[in-house]
Amino acid sequence: MAEVTARVSGTMGLTAEQVRRVLRAAGRAPSVHNTQPWRFRLTESAIELHADPRRQLPVADPDGVELRMSCGAALFNLRLALSEVGVRPIVTRMPEPRHPTLLAKVRVGGAKPPTPEEAALVAAIPLRRTNRRPFADDPVSGAHRHELRSAARREGATLDIVADPERLAKLGELSARAHRRQLADPRFVAEFGLWSGETGSRGDGVSARAGGPAPAPRDPWVLRDFTGDRRPEPAGHSSFESEPLIATLTAHTAGPLGDLLAGEALQRVLLTATAHGLAVSPVSQLVELPEIRAAVRELVGTARPPQAVLRIGYGWPVVGSPRLPVEDLLLAGPEQGPGRYRCDRRDPHDRAQLW
Ligand SMILES: Cc1cc2nc3c(=O)[nH]c(=O)nc-3n(C[C@H](O)[C@H](O)[C@H](O)COP(=O)(O)O)c2cc1C
């Protein structure tokens, strides 16, 4: 695969500096294992968002659901960042059915200053982090719960808070069971190892310093160890919050489009949480294994299988994970067709041919 040298240039009447700013914001989105599976092609009239199949997780995410959700989160940031530079974005999702890696085309829909809410969400982009550390024991306020639910709703998804203690306990058991099953799969462990324990040598993967302490046996929500076996000892057997707020996120639409929309909704929820001083960590083992995901759906009673399970609370500042430079996010090539990818770090399993 030939490498492509791409430059950030003006598009849609934006200056090169505005384009860089918008793409940098998009690249700050969360992504599963910090794979950053998004690529952008700049044309005269649009910014195209493409999925990079080489960055899909073949074991944890064989169908590309989390890959598309991650790209949806980047799309939400892109929309917000455009509004910050005074552009009303018009988004066409999945514009070419025969080209499934092309997830969206974003065009200019006129000039419009950002609303106060958009400005607050844009300001939250660089502050948002996945927080895997214990949260305070204070319950999340009713007003904040309302804000989070309404954030999901505005992007075509539902955020269901699992309030019933019995259901919550059962969900915790499912989380621990799913985690054990994944750790028993050497392919999962090998894949996880490729993307965790990052100590500063690359622009992707989860930073070792972004992991939290090991949970006590009764704390089933932060089980994944991203520290590369350097997890700090638990501070005791009650280090994590005693009444965690757990919520499921479910898009109203099925299929790949639903995954993209779920990612946009996820990011709106995460940025709303950040803007209100809340911290979040996803619990993805509950949605990655089909039988567990089905059991979660039955337990919570959602209309469709949920795409994400989130632990939410009031946390303390944590370090973030690295990001790839904007230049590495650019896709060059003809406007139509699959394009060519520049990839720093090749996945051993080449997924490109699957799309
Ligand atoms: C679809 C999706 C699934 C994720 N699943 C998990 C998870 O199960 N556990 C976890 O600790 N973080 C999870 N994350 C968070 C990512 O690891 C995180 O976004 C990435 O490492 C970048 O770090 P940042 O969010 O601090 O910027 C997930 C993120 C996304 C978008």
- Nearest atom in ligand 1 to the alpha carbon of residue 283 is 8
10 Cα–ligand 1 center, Å: 31
Per-residue pLDDT tens digits of the chain, which is 355 residues long: 333 334 676 789 999 999 999 999 999 999 999 999 999 999 999 999 999 999 999 999 999 999 999 999 999 999 999 999 999 999 999 999 999 999 999 999 999 999 999 999 999 999 999 999 999 999 999 999 999 999 999 999 999 999 999 999 999 999 999 999 999 999 999 999 999 998 999 999 999 999 999 998 889 999 999 999 888 766 555 589 988 999 999 999 999 999 999 999 999 999 999 999 999 999 999 999 999 999 999 999 999 999 999 999 999 999 999 999 999 999 986 543 444 443 333 343 444 444 4
Q: Is the CB of 133 under 6 A from ligand 1?
A: no
CA-nearest residue for atom 28, ligand 1, is 32
Q: Is the CB of 11 under 6 A from ligand 1?
A: no
332 Cα–ligand 1 center, Å: 28
CA-nearest residue for atom 23, ligand 1, is 321
Domains and CATH numbers, the chain: 16-126+322-354 (3.40.109.30), 142-313 (3.40.109.10)
Write out the chain in H/E/C secondary structure.
CCCCCCCCCCCCCCCHHHHHHHHHHHHCCCCHHHCCCEEEEECCCCEEEEECHHHCCCCCCCCCHHHHHHHHHHHHHHHHHHHHCCEEEEEEECCCCCCCCEEEEEEEEEECCCCHHHHHHHHHCCCCCECCCCCCCCCCCHHHHHHHHHHHHHCCEEEEECCCHHHHHHHHHHHHHHHHHHHCCHHHHHHHHHHCCECCCCCCCCEHHHCCCCCCCCCCCCCCCCCCCCCCCCCCCCCCCCCCEEEEEEECCCHHHHHHHHHHHHHHHHHHHHHCCCEEEECCHHHHCHHHHHHHHHHHCCCCCCCEEEEEECCCCCCCCCCCCHHHHECECCCCCCCECCCCCCCCCCCHHHC
Q: Is the CB of 34 under 6 A from ligand 1?
A: yes
Q: Is the CB of 282 under 6 A from ligand 1?
A: yes
pTM here is 0.93
Q: Is the CB of 211 under 6 A from ligand 1?
A: no
